[in-house]
Structure 1
Amino acid sequence: MDAATPLLDPAPAYALWASSYPAHAHNPVMHAEERAMLALMPARLEGLDVVDAGCGSGRYLRHALARGATTLVGIDLSGPMLARAAASFDDAPAGARIALAQGDLTALPLPDASADVLLCGLAVGHVPRLDAVLEEFARVTRPGATLVVSDFHPVGAALGWRRDFKAGGQRYAVRHATHYYSDWHAACVDAGLAIDAVTEPMLDPADIPSGARFDPVALDVPVALVMRLRRLAR
């Protein structure tokens, strides 16, 4: 990242980014992360209460709908991103109940033990304390619940990569904490979550547009850390 690029906290960053943020994977890293997330998500979600924590513009809510979910809650810190998500559900299946609410990953506006499936795509790094996030995820999920969570791989931070975007002709970067696998392991133990599966997806060269400028090292290292967790009885 250029030293002149402003580094913003998530709320002001997504307020600027929301108007141009699509409800689908829109870069090679997100395509790699999404393939891994979808492979770890339950194949069918009928009859299950699904929460997307850090739902953004609604990307994984749409995937959950495609897998049969009819009761869904999307929560995000950013009001403008939630508005973007709401606008994308005009074509939701009849009978689907989708609620959107503003909230922090460490203080979700949900009752205890209210979710069978919790999804969280590329959002936990916006919170410095991973343990606080996973404690909250454990609070709102039922024993036996499935959680599928992704974040940018720590190797990216080591290589100096940043999550950046353009708005109004200016480039910005979003502040993002680095959570190592050891952090995940310790936080899961404390929260009563079991790690059932871990994947470290890499870029597919076919996803990289011709002439795109990117660090060629990105083809040789994982770009995301994706986990399937299980809520234990406590």
Structure 2
Amino acid sequence: METPTLDPAPAYALWAASYPAYAHNPLMHAEERAMLALMPGRLEGQQVVDAGCGSGRYLRHAMARGATTLVGVDLSGPMLARATALFDDAPSDARIALAQGDLAALPLPDGSADVLLCGLAVGHVPDLGAVLHEFARVARPGATLVVSDFHPVGAALGWRRDFRAEGQRYAVRHATHYYSHWHAACARAGLAIDAVAEPMLDPADIPPGAHFDPIALEVPVALVFRLRRLAS
């Protein structure tokens, strides 16, 4: 049976009920290690924006690094509903806001982020330039942005971002953004590329008996950037 491919909004409406707020597969573990290595070690006094926050995975990591002013934006209302669990675990002085919005049209004022995070979401928007332009608008000059996506080698190998819901397997529509696209889009948006990581799977993360493409152990599975907002 062919796996239906859904646009992000209906896909995450189905997926949200079972989508945890932590890395839950080997690829996500590899991506998360790279993201955390490129994020600032301490975030006290920083306003942190998580664009495409989903169920709140990187908002939790930001809180663990001392952030108390956080904003999460996601296209999916059901995923944001999962992220509200953050309020139960947040320190008493935390100010957390969650808002529904598109990555290319964030409901945030100019220059409002000291740190902007985006994990595995930019591929849901075909126009990478529009997303990075919006990230640059929201970031203050000098701000750090840490952004990840699925590595384009996965698309070349035919891998899909799929999930199971209500007894059916689905795939989420996803655009492939090559490094050359990132380089050009960052230059147009006024973002400097400070660091790039291409993490690979750790065999220790793969559960016994798992079915997967063995070449996945030989190629990078994510593309992770640390960017800096240049002064206007």
Matched, 1:54 2:57: no
Q: CA deviation at 1:91?
A: 1.4
Quote the Cα distance in structure 1 between the aligned partners of 2:112 and 2:162: 34
Quote the Cα distance in structure 1 between the aligned partners of 2:53 and 2:117: 8
Deviations 1:145-184, CA, capped at 9 Å, x for gaps: 0000000000000000000000000000000000000000
Instruction: Show structure 2 runs of 5+ residues with no match.
Output: none
Quote the Cα distance in structure 2 between the aligned partners of 1:190 and 1:124: 17
Quote the Cα distance in structure 2 between the aligned partners of 1:64 and 1:94: 15
Quote the Cα distance in structure 2 between the aligned partners of 1:117 and 1:7: 33
Matched, 1:95 2:93: yes
Matched, 1:224 2:222: yes
Q: Mapping of 1:59-70 within 5 angstroms?
A: 59-70=57-68
Quote the Cα distance in structure 1 between the aligned partners of 2:18 and 2:47: 29
Matched, 1:203 2:201: yes
Q: Secondary structure at the match of 1:50?
A: strand
Q: Secondary structure at the match of 1:89?
A: helix
Quote the Cα distance in structure 2 between the aligned partners of 1:89 and 1:8: 30
Alignment length (residue pairs): 232
Quote the Cα distance in structure 1 between the aligned partners of 2:86 and 2:164: 22
Equivalent residue letter for 1:43:
G
Instruction: Name which of 25, 28, 37 aligns with 1:27.
Output: 25
Segments ≥4 residues shifted beyond 6 Å: none
Quote the Cα distance in structure 2 between the aligned partners of 1:68 and 1:87: 18
Matched with 1:82 is 80
Equivalent residue letter for 1:222:
P
* TM-score (normalised: structure 1): 0.98
Matched with 1:39 is 37
Matched, 1:141 2:139: yes
Q: CA deviation at 1:93?
A: 1.2
Q: CA deviation at 1:89?
A: 3.2
Quote the Cα distance in structure 2 between the aligned partners of 1:76 and 1:143: 24
Aligned alpha-carbon RMSD (Å) = 0.6
Matched with 2:111 is 113
Q: CA deviation at 1:94?
A: 1.2
Equivalent residue letter for 1:67:
R
Q: CA deviation at 1:92?
A: 1.1
Equivalent residue letter for 1:145:
A
Q: Mapping of 1:115-130 within 5 angstroms?
A: 115-130=113-128
Q: CA deviation at 1:58?
A: 0.1
Quote the Cα distance in structure 1 between the aligned partners of 2:197 and 2:2: 34
Q: Secondary structure at the match of 1:82?
A: helix
Equivalent residue letter for 2:228:
R
Q: Secondary structure at the match of 1:184?
A: helix
